[in-house]
Structure 1
């Protein structure tokens, strides 16, 4: 070794440091690859992605190969640095060489390459996969022996390397990912995806028009009043009831009845009852996705939501279902206004589920369905205007109310 020129030793040491940087960076790059993007690239036929995916199916073997290579070059580099130190300064140079090598390895073979790999994993992982694939076959006996011992130790703690599965996401994790796509997806499309993800857990009770807001016609009213209501109605399908909304006798399609109303001089209540559609009743706990299917099978577009006692709790239409799933597509929701300081002015009738979707909060949805109901349940009374409270880590103030409910609430910015 004393006959080898120092220039060759320094060259060999530099090459070993580069190899160490390669092993360190490729390890980080392969382990931080986005598995879902990787799967997408595999489906597109990317050959490098296919090789990387095959390597990642058994991470124990891949890590065994990388760490074998990394430790080998680091130990060899340490030996060369010791020889160089002794050649230059004698025994006193050993400690100095070790200190300098440690600093160089840390900066140039660990921190810098791993940082680059974490920021640009595909840039390093894909070329590395072409090297590791044949290298794994070449070194397989040694890698197998090392993994045999390592996996045996893991089994003591109940971990089996062969049980490794592809990373999966649950619903809440997927919602978090979608909620954080601000830079690549407009809010309106993001809300649509969140609504679809949350489809299975939402019920018709979450999106129905509540009982006190149902606009219907009492068939017992004078015919003149009924005609006036028909002419001024903003809805195409109207529930017709006797005295109380609990006694709905059917739904009236406005387009059908207006033709008769305009062409008949003797329009009567009998004309209305002759054109009624049989009312469709929906249990309040029906999931949205099941109700969508039910509307499709029964060829209906509107129904009354009833509780376990058969009392009408609200009304839901196909339009309500679609809006409940995808939110407001064409226009911004006027019931939730965001201000520049991060505060929100919210209508009391807004559902907790819809507010969570707009703001990406986590207010509880198991109990009351509206913001009004959530506050009243918390305080056990209808608060006065100006009342401030902290509700589930949110500071809010009651802006306005009427005799029966809270009409507007202001949520302060989250700290």
Structure 2
């Protein structure tokens, strides 16, 4: 009977350890095991696809062997004290205490501690045996599953997902801290989750910051505005900004001017497109789907009173997932690139406030948001590649243009030569 008791305790330890190992196994690590084609990893994943079945199997096995251990332990103690005139009730009490302590130490605490600390190894070792046990206990497992589901419905308990959004975000953070996740990829994954919960008013350009154009504005006047606000699209209005009549694309106008198919005396109304209005409380993910489906590049947001609340572009929505992007979908990997000592290459879309953080350069406030706007302000005309000017002791040179748009600028710090007397 001693051998039977030991076997029962070992089987109990197996079920307890298996439960702890499977439930503590990180899904990210399991995915890596599958990717590395580790034997048994796919079987673990299949068992975890139905956690209620896995738990029913483990609990059924554990209860059976624990009951067996208690019965064997009781019979063993009674047989030992049989000739000592000790009442059976006392023998049963002693047996209960001894078996409970043995189960607690050797079948619960020790195996679960080992399993949690070595979840991958334990799960891989246990998966085949556990799979066979699940077939053996199939009738019991099926019955427990049905009872569990019926009870859940009676109490209004809904099935929970195996992995919650919070768990995935915590896992991403953990992998990033120990160097197993690329920071850019981790940040993008976090943005994807945030993307589905964010409303438009949280990321829009508010009404007070909108650069809108009167529809009677000539192209010559528009170019003056565009020098300081190099946006890709603008809303246009008649009389008042609350009366938005449409939108225009800067690309259409600049292309027409460069190809000389239009003149500067034309008005922006000639390039007017349909204005797409949506409520500011709409989800970012919903608008993103609509804009891609219908081909809209800009949307105007209306508040609860029907007034203009702000605007948002497809580019801005993309930035919510991938970070800073360039003109309509071109990713800007590095806005500021250091070419050498005191020499920097900047993307034209680099924001003014970002420059002072990297380069020891002070750019005065003005009616511009980007470095391209600052360059246009100083040159006073649409530049060509090679055009340059000095600001403080820095030389600004245009290195790349796209039509009339400034793509790249090189900034070089020059030496200050002092007169020696």
Q: TM-score, normalised by structure 2?
A: 0.56
Match of 1:106 in 2: 104
Does the 8 Å contact 1:179/1:190 carry over to 2?
Answer: no
Structure 1 residue 303: deviation in Å?
2.6
Aligned to 1:322, the other structure's residue is in SS state helix
Residues 82, 126 of structure 1: alpha-carbon distance in 2 compared, 3 angstrom cutoff: farther
Q: 1:71-105: CA deviations, max 9, x gaps?
A: 21343245446656889x99799798886665444
Does the 8 Å contact 1:28/1:117 carry over to 2?
Answer: yes
Residues 114, 77 of structure 1: alpha-carbon distance in 2 compared, 3 angstrom cutoff: farther
Choose which of 282, 286, 292 in structure 2 pairs with 1:290: 286
CA distance in 2, matches of 1:53, 1:41: 16
Where do residues 6-405 of structure 1 align in structure 2 (5 Å cutoff)? 14-29=6-21, 46-47=42-43, 49-50=45-46, 56-57=52-53, 59-60=55-56, 62-80=58-76, 103-135=101-133, 158=151, 167-168=160-161, 173-175=164-166, 177-179=168-170, 181-185=172-176, 188-218=184-214, 225-261=221-257, 267-328=263-324
Q: Which moved more, 1:218-227 or 1:67-76?
A: 218-227
Match of 1:345 in 2: none
Does the 8 Å contact 1:242/1:248 carry over to 2?
Answer: yes
Structure 1 residue 322: deviation in Å?
1.6
Residues 169, 196 of structure 1: alpha-carbon distance in 2 compared, 3 angstrom cutoff: farther
Structure 1, unaligned runs of 5 or more: 1-8, 337-415
Aligned to 2:211, the other structure's residue is in SS state coil
CA distance in 1, matches of 2:27, 2:193: 20
CA distance in 2, matches of 1:308, 1:216: 21
Aligned to 2:172, the other structure's residue is in SS state coil
Structure 1 residue 70: deviation in Å?
2.4
Q: 1:137-158: CA deviations, max 9, x gaps?
A: 66778x589x69x998x89x94
Structure 1 residue 14: deviation in Å?
4.4
Q: 1:97-121: CA deviations, max 9, x gaps?
A: 8866654443223210122233444
CA distance in 2, matches of 1:160, 1:245: 55
Does the 8 Å contact 1:61/1:144 carry over to 2?
Answer: yes
CA distance in 2, matches of 1:262, 1:184: 51
Structure 1 residue 182: deviation in Å?
1.1
Structure 1 residue 316: deviation in Å?
1.1
Does the 8 Å contact 1:235/1:254 carry over to 2?
Answer: yes
Q: 1:272-326: CA deviations, max 9, x gaps?
A: 3323333333333333233223323332211322235543221111111222345
Q: Which moved more, 1:276-285 or 1:214-223?
A: 214-223
* C-alpha RMSD of the superposition: 5.1
Q: 1:48-69: CA deviations, max 9, x gaps?
A: 5546767952744552233112
Residues 59, 130 of structure 1: alpha-carbon distance in 2 compared, 3 angstrom cutoff: same
Q: 1:182-208: CA deviations, max 9, x gaps?
A: 121456544533443344443333321
Residues 165, 25 of structure 1: alpha-carbon distance in 2 compared, 3 angstrom cutoff: farther
Q: Which moved more, 1:272-281 or 1:129-138?
A: 129-138
CA distance in 1, matches of 2:146, 2:250: 72
Residues 83, 253 of structure 1: alpha-carbon distance in 2 compared, 3 angstrom cutoff: same
* Number of positions where the alignment pairs a residue of Structure 1 with one of Structure 2: 319
Q: TM-score, normalised by structure 1?
A: 0.57
Q: 1:125-180: CA deviations, max 9, x gaps?
A: 45445335555666778x589x69x998x89x94589x99964269xx41453145
Does the 8 Å contact 1:25/1:117 carry over to 2?
Answer: yes
CA distance in 1, matches of 2:141, 2:220: 90
CA distance in 1, matches of 2:146, 2:270: 77
CA distance in 1, matches of 2:116, 2:68: 23
